[in-house]
Amino acid sequence: MVSKRPITAEDLSRIEVFSDPHFTPNGKAYTYVSTIINGKNEYESHLFFQNVNETESKQWTFGHHRNSNLTISPDGQTAVFQSNRSGLPQLWLIHTDGGEAQQLTTFKNGASNPMWSKDGKQILFSASLNSDDDIQNQKELSNEERQQAIEKKKNKPLLVNRLQYKSNDKGFHDDKRAQIISYDIEKESYSKLTTADEDHRLQDISPDGQYLLFTANLNPGADYENTTDLFLFNISTKNLSKLTDGKGIYYNARFSPSGNRISCFGHEYEYDGATLSEIFVFDLASGERTCLSDAWDIQLGDAMAGDTRLGQSVNGPIWSKYEDRLFFLATDSGATGLYQVTLERNLTVLYKDDNHVFGFAYDVNSDSFILGISTPTNPCNFYLLGKNLDLTRLTNSNAAFLEEVAIMNPETFTIQTEDDWEIQGWIIKPYGFNEDKKYPFILEIHGGPHAMYGQTFFHELQLLAAKGYVVMYTNPRGSHGYGQKFVDAVRSDYGGRDYADLMDAVDYALANYSYIDENRLGVTGGSYGGFMTNWIVGQTNRFKAAVTQRSISNWLSFYGVSDIGYFFTKWEIGYNLLENPAKLWDSSPLKYADKVETPLLILHGELDYRCPIEQGEQLFIALKHLRKDVEFVRFPGADHELSRSGNPNMRIARLKQICRWFDKYLKINE
C-alpha cells in the first residue's frame, strides 16, 4: 500500500538544489549555494556556511536575489560573492563573522566570477566592456534606465558582420567583450588586464600573484574557429605567453601550489565534438606538456543529463597539497565519481557508487573532500569524504518533501544488440505499481547526443512514473560514459544504429517486463532526443503518442539558423550544406513527414537559438498540411534550456503539456 502521494509538476517548485561547495581556508567549515523557486516564480540562490563537525548550516544571504560564486579571502576574514540584488550581477563583500554585505562593483554591464589573489590584496573578476569604457567610473544603470536602453535597442537595426553573432545563452551578440579586471582593495582602484577584441575567461592566478591564467581565442580567424587556447599573462610586464597550439579547447586550468606547474582539461578535436577530454600538465620551467590520461577511455568531468541541476560546481582538476596528484570527476557507465591521478599516471577511484557526484571541494589541511551527491531518489546532499575515504552525510536537504512524496527507484538493465554492443538503461515502475496490471510505457531519449542518462534525480522521469507510466531511458551509442568508440559511433549515422539501439531496448522491455502494454507505447526527448523522436515516428508506427521537444527536423536549414549549425552539422552528419545537401536531407526527419501516423506534440521555445523554433514550425506545417494528428506549443521567451533552467511557470506548463498528450493517447483503455 502506497503511503506517500505521487509527485506533481508543481513539485518542481519545492525542490532545493545545492551547488558549488568550497572549504574555508582553515578546512573546518565549508560554504555552498542553495537554489529554490520562490513564491514570485523566480529562482532564488543563497549562500550557506556549515562547520564540518556540525549538522546545521547557517544562511549568509537573504532576500529575493540570486547569490553565487562565493570565495573567501586567504585570511578567512572576508568573502566576495556575486549577486543581482542591485539589478545586474555585481560583486559584494561580506565579513565571514556576520554583518551586512557591501557592494564592491557598479559596472554598467555587471561583474562576475571573482577570485582572490593569494596575498588577499587583489580581487580579480570578469566584466563585459566596450573597448573605450572607462573602468574607473563605471555606473550601473537604474531599472528605469536599463528598461529605456532595452527599448532603444529594440528600435535599432542590428548590423551583423560576424559568423558567430548569436548564441543560446546570450542571444544576439554586441561589441562588448569579456575582459579580466583587477581590483586593488587598499587603493580602491581597478586595472584592466586584458584588452583584445575577444572574450577572455579567467582561470587562475599564480601563488606569487605575478601571473594570470586565462583562456581565449586570439587568432585572426577566431570567428571561424571553435578553438580555445590557454594563455599565461605576466601582470607586471604585460607579457603574454600562449601555452597551447590553437588546435583544441582547454578549460579548468589551475596553478599547482608551487606555481611551477599548470593543470587543465582539454582535447584537440580528434573526434570533433565527440572527443573525450584529457588531463594535461604543463611544466613552466621546461615548457613540456604531458597528457596524464592518454591511456584511459573515460570522459572527464560531469556529463550527466538531468533537469534539477542549477548552479555551477567544481569538476577538477584540483592539485593535492604536495602537487603529486590531481583530483577530478569523471563520467562512467551511468554514474559520476571522484578520481585521482598521480603525475606518474596512476589512476585511482576515490569514490564512485550508483549515484551522481555533481561537484567537490578539496581541503589541503586534512586531505578530505566535500562531495555533492544526487541519487535517483534524492535531489542532492553534501557529504564529507575523509582521508580514510569514509563518507559522512552533512546535510539533509528536501527532507520534508521526500517524506511526503513517493519517489520511485529505477531498475538498471543492460542489453546486447544484434551487432554485439552493450546498451545500458533503466526502468521506473509506475506509482502504486501492481504486478497484475498492464501499464502504458514511455521511452525517454536524452539530448546531446553526447550526454548520459544515469543515477541522478530526474523530476520529469519521476513525474511520468507518478502519472502511471512505465518509464524507460537508455544510453544508445553516441552517449558519454562508455568510451571513445562508443561516443563517436553516432556521428555520420544519426537515425542508424542509434535508432536500432533504442528499438532493441524497447523490444527488451516488452520481452522482460510483462506489465508493459505493448499497444500503449509513447516516446519523447529533447534536442537530439527531439530529433530522434521525430525520426522514430517517421520510421515506425509502433508508438501511439510522441512528444518532441526543442528538436531538429531539417538539417538543411539547421546549418544556417542554429548558433552552432555551421560546424555541428558537419561534425555530426558528416557534411556541410553545400558539400552534400542530399545527405542532409536524407538524415532529416522532415523528409519522412508523410510516413508519420503517430499523434505528435511539438514543444519549442521561441528564443531557442540552439535548435531554432523554425525547426518545430517546419515539422508542424508539413504534418498539419498532410492532415496528420499534430499540435504545436510555443513557449514565449524560452530558450534551449527551458526544461532545466527556464522560467519556472513555463517549465511546469511544459510538463503538463507532456502529460496531457500522453494521457490523451495512452490511457484510452483505462
Which residues form the catalytic set?
527, 640
CA–CA separation, 459 and 467 (whole Å): 12
CA–CA separation, 507 and 239 (whole Å): 62
CA–CA separation, 395 and 397 (whole Å): 6
The three-state secondary structure class of 74 is: coil
Distance (Å) of CA 60 to CA 42, 46, 99, 306: 19, 7, 9, 28
Query: ∠387-298-327 over CA atoms, to 5°?
Result: 25
List Cβ<8 Å contacts ≥24 apart for 154-160: none
Distance (Å) of CA 197 to CA 160, 228, 567, 616, 633: 16, 14, 22, 36, 40
Q: Report DSSP letters for 233-301, one per residue.
A: EETTT--EEE-S-SSSEEEEEEE-TTSSEEEEEEE--TTGGGPPPEEEEEETTT--EEES-TT--SEES
Q: In 3D, which of 276, 247, 242, 277 has the Cα closest to residue 262?
A: 242
Point out which residues pair with 23 in neighbouring strands.
30
CA–CA separation, 553 and 542 (whole Å): 20
Say how many C-beta atoms besides its own lie within 10 A of residue 83's C-beta: 24
Q: CB-side exposure of 485: number of CA atoms within 13 Å?
A: 3
Please name the amino acid found at residue 597.
E
- Report DSSP state, residue 629: S
Question: Measured between alpha carbons, how far apart are the two ends of the chain, in Å?
Answer: 21
Say how many C-beta atoms besides its own lie within 10 A of residue 150's C-beta: 9
Interhelix angle 459-466/648-666, rounded to 10 degrees, is 40
Interhelix angle 497-512/528-539, rounded to 10 degrees, is 70
For residue 552, give every residue at least 6 positions away whose Cβ sits within 8 Å of its Cβ, in sequence order, or none. 527, 528, 530, 531, 534, 558, 589, 611, 615
Which backbone phi and psi does 584 adopt, to 5 degrees?
Answer: -65, -40
Q: In 3D, which of 135, 264, 137, 127 has the Cα closest to residue 200?
A: 127
Whether the bond between 410 and the residue before it is cis, its omega within 30 degrees of 0, is no
Cell readout for 383 is: 557529504
CA–CA separation, 146 and 642 (whole Å): 25
